[in-house]
Amino acid sequence: MANPWIAFLVVPLVKIVVILVAVILLAAYLSFFERKILAYMQIRIGPNRVFPRGWLQPIADALKLFSKEDIVPTRAEKLVYLLSPVITTAPALVVFSVVPFASATTLFGLLKEPVTPYLTDINIGILFILGVSSVGVYGIILGGWSSNNKFSLMGGLRSAAQLVSYEVPMGFSVVAVLLMAGSLSLVKIVEAQKQAGVWFFLPGIVAFFIYFVCGVAETNRSPFDLPEAESELVAGFHTEYSGMKWAFYFLAEYANMVVISSVATVLFFGGWLRPFPNVAALAFLDVVPPFLWFAAKVGFFLFCYIWFRATFPRYRFDQLMALGWKVLLPVSLANVMAVGLGVLLMGGAR
């Protein structure tokens, strides 16, 4: 890649387009899988009418949303109302720029030089993800406020309170991993797991549990879906949204699910690594390309998301706050102490 134009413009642009299209398609198909899995857990069949066994259902849904009327409430704050879905969606998509999908690859020998199948690897990757993804809540609370609807406002407020509460234990659970890995870069974290020979899931099981619970809460998914609790708030912050604006919220929610699952995979489940990456007896597992390992782990977490939704009833708001502040926060703090002590005794970060 002698030509700097190729290295600095064409390659990143191609990667951006591929990642964006993949994420948007994944978000669309996640809705299909969610309906399917929910249906299966309720011994129904789910959508199966649109051409091959329902597989084009997300496409049909997207076309429907494109052609729907876009209603703006008369007394809404027009500009804020218009901007909020964008404020929510953009961070959810931007975050994917630092998610490492796989190690450097030549695409089975198609390319002369190996390319990294992620957009960039910055040395504050996890901080970037936590910071940018938290911006999304502005879109939710502004959307709830600008709709000029009490249900929307309450949904937005709940979402803000929930995010503030759960961001804290989530940050501490990530700190435990950072102590073990000794780096903020997501690629370095995966490589540290390769060196350690074990996924951080095993030494950091408490951190993983806290991270995933907080992740479910941060994405406003059941059983923490209070901001859009149907039975109480109609549809919460997006009560007044319709058409493509609503679709943007929808896209952001599912993209955030993928982000949380990807980060959980990278931090605790070894990213693109196979199980027990240093055990030579399992070398036959290397037949599976690294990206498929990553995708399989992310898929499992996404399945868990939907599984939880099919199983658990919604938390009451005070229970939600009590869980966040009285259980998760002390446990995550104690976990940081314990992991730090362990790392110290084992001789520092690897």
CB 209 within 8 A of CB 200: no
Q: Is there binding between residue 42 and another protein (CB under 8 A)? A: yes
| Position among 40, 51, 55, 66 found at the interface with another protein (CB under 8 A) | 40
Interactions with another protein, residue window 43-102 (CB under 8 A): 43-45
Q: Is there binding between residue 37 and another protein (CB under 8 A)? A: yes
* Residue 131 token pair: 């910071």
Task: Please identify, using beta-carbon distances, which residue of 209 and 317 lies nearer to another protein.
Answer: 209
* Closest by CA position to 237, among listed 186, 290, 163: 163
Query: What is the smallest separation between the CB atom of 72 and another protein, expressed in angstroms?
Result: 37
Query: What is the smallest separation between the CB atom of 314 and another protein, expressed in angstroms?
Result: 14
Task: Please identify, using beta-carbon distances, which residue of 100 and 215 lies nearer to another protein.
Answer: 215
Task: Please identify, using beta-carbon distances, which residue of 42 and 120 lies nearer to another protein.
Answer: 42
Inter-CA distances, 291 with 123, 271, 299, 341, 343, Å: 22, 9, 12, 34, 30
Residue 327's CB: how many other CB atoms inside 10 A?
13
Inter-CA distances, 144 with 35, 207, 216, 239, 297, Å: 26, 32, 21, 8, 34
| Position among 106, 123, 311, 319 found at the interface with another protein (CB under 8 A) | 311
| Position among 8, 51, 66, 312 found at the interface with another protein (CB under 8 A) | 312
Inter-CA distances, 101 with 8, 75, 104, 116, 274, Å: 20, 44, 10, 9, 13
The strand pairing partners of 78, in sequence order, are none
Task: Please identify, using beta-carbon distances, which residue of 51 and 66 lies nearer to another protein.
Answer: 51
Query: What is the smallest separation between the CB atom of 177 and another protein, expressed in angstroms?
Result: 22
Count interface residues toward another protein (CB under 8 A).
12
Task: Please identify, using beta-carbon distances, which residue of 43 and 280 lies nearer to another protein.
Answer: 43
Task: Please identify, using beta-carbon distances, which residue of 22 and 45 lies nearer to another protein.
Answer: 45
Query: What is the smallest separation between the CB atom of 281 and another protein, expressed in angstroms?
Result: 31
Task: Please identify, using beta-carbon distances, which residue of 48 and 106 lies nearer to another protein.
Answer: 48
Q: Which of 83-91, 167-175, 280-288, 306-314 is the region at the interface with another protein (rule: CB under 8 A)?
A: 306-314
What is the separation, in whole angstroms, between the first and last Cα of the chain? 33
Residues in contact with 58: Cβ distance below 8 Å, sequence separation at least 6, in sequence order? 28, 29, 31, 32
CB 180 within 8 A of CB 339: yes
Inter-CA distances, 121 with 39, 99, 124, 183, 296, Å: 39, 8, 9, 12, 22
CA distance 142 to 167: 19
Query: What is the smallest separation between the CB atom of 316 and another protein, expressed in angstroms?
Result: 16
Phi-psi category of residue 109: left, alpha or beta, with phi > 0 → left and psi -120 to 50 → alpha: left
Q: Is there binding between residue 278 and another protein (CB under 8 A)? A: no
Q: Which of 37-45, 95-103, 185-193, 243-251 is the region at the interface with another protein (rule: CB under 8 A)?
A: 37-45
Q: Is there binding between residue 206 and another protein (CB under 8 A)? A: no
* Residue 319 token pair: 């229970």
Task: Please identify, using beta-carbon distances, which residue of 279 and 334 lies nearer to another protein.
Answer: 334
Q: Which of 98-106, 150-158, 303-311, 316-324 is the region at the interface with another protein (rule: CB under 8 A)?
A: 303-311
Q: Is there binding between residue 319 and another protein (CB under 8 A)? A: no
Q: Which of 133-141, 147-155, 161-169, 302-310 is the region at the interface with another protein (rule: CB under 8 A)?
A: 302-310
Residue 326's CB: how many other CB atoms inside 10 A?
10
Contact positions toward another protein, by CB under 8 A? 37, 40-45, 307-308, 310-312
